[in-house]
């Protein structure tokens, strides 16, 4: 599918409040067909999603430790997580320390997932991901670990007010660029 047709389809799915504010841009080079295309998602004429741009106001993580120390990421733990740590330590650790250990384990897993999603985004071909988004259900796109799929789903008109408001807890675990688009969409409700 050509870029212009793909762009037209993606912009056709934008929620009405973001129409004209969110743009998909892909500066293409005619003679470099074997290279993955560089693409930007811009909001109000500012490039928001561009992995190679170091001047972006969206935080891109470099290490696992940065994710663990980010105060914006709230990692909930439940009794199953604490019980898993208790079994691993054979019950010899005090209860208050079990909570700290469970949170640390979960934050490590989450940090690895975020770094993996961020790395796959930098290597991905936007056009291939956008075609995948158009062919999958909106539920799969929202639940996906892929950053780009999450963003495209959040600005989609098929995601209603009730669903957006119900995602608040899940958004605390997402990458900052996904949280940015979530907040942008919440502002339009």
CA distance 37 to 25: 10
Determine, yes or no, domain membership for 96: yes
Tokens of 55: 């001047």
Task: Write down the pTM of the prediction.
Answer: 0.78
Q: Provide the CB-side half-sphere exposure for 105 (13 A, CA).
A: 16
* Cα 151 to Cα 130: distance, rounded to the nearest angstrom: 11
Could you tell me if residue 90 is inside a domain? yes
C-alpha distance across the termini of the chain, in Å: 32
Could you tell me if residue 21 is inside a domain? Answer: no
Query: Mean pLDDT across the stretch 137-149?
Result: 92
Residues recorded for the chain: 189
* 145: confidence class by pLDDT, cuts 50, 70, 90: confident
Our count of domains for the chain comes to: 1
Is 42 a domain residue? Answer: no
Q: Confidence band (pLDDT; 50, 70, 90) for 189?
A: confident
- Domain assignment present for residue 30? The answer is no
The predicted pLDDT at position 114 comes to 86
Asked if residues 13 and 156 have their Cβ atoms less than 8 Å apart, the reply is yes
pLDDT > 90? residue 127: no
Rounded alpha-carbon distances, angstroms, from residue 25 to 67, 76, 79, 82: 29, 37, 46, 46
49 in helix, strand or coil?
Answer: strand
Q: Report DSSP state, residue 156.
A: B
E-state strands within the chain: 22-25, 40-43, 46-49
* The token pair that represents 56 in the structure block: 């972006």
**Helix axis angle, 3-12 relative to 126-135, nearest 10°?**
50
HSE-up (13 A, CA, CB side) for residue 19: 10
Q: What is the mean pLDDT of residues 151-156?
A: 95
Residue 28 covered by a domain: no
Which domain, by its residues, includes 144?
57-189
Whole-angstrom distance, CA of residue 177 vs CA of residue 72: 12
Q: Select, from the ranges 27-31, 121-125, 156-160, the one with the highest average predicted confidence (pLDDT).
A: 156-160
């Amino acid at each position: 599918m050509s870029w212009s047709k793909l762009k037209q389809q993606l912009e056709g799915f934008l929620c009405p409040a973001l129409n004209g504010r969110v743009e998909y841009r892909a500066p293409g080079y005619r003679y470099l067909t074997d290279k993955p295309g560089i693409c930007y998602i811009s909001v109000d004429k500012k490039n928001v999603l561009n992995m190679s741009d170091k001047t972006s106001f969206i935080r891109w993580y470099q290490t696992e430790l940065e994710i663990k120390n980010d105060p914006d990421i709230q990692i909930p733990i439940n009794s199953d997580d604490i019980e898993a740590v208790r079994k691993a330590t054979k019950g010899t650790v005090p209860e208050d320390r079990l909570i700290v250990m469970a949170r640390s384990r979960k934050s490590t897993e989450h940090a690895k997932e975020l770094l993996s999603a961020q790395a796959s985004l930098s290597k991905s071909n936007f056009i291939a991901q956008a075609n995948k988004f158009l062919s999958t259900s909106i539920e799969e796109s929202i639940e996906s670990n892929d950053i780009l799929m999450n963003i495209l789903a959040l600005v989609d008109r098929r995601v209603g007010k009730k669903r957006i408001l119900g995602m608040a807890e899940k958004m605390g675990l997402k990458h900052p660029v996904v949280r940015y688009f979530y907040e942008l969409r919440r502002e339009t409700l």
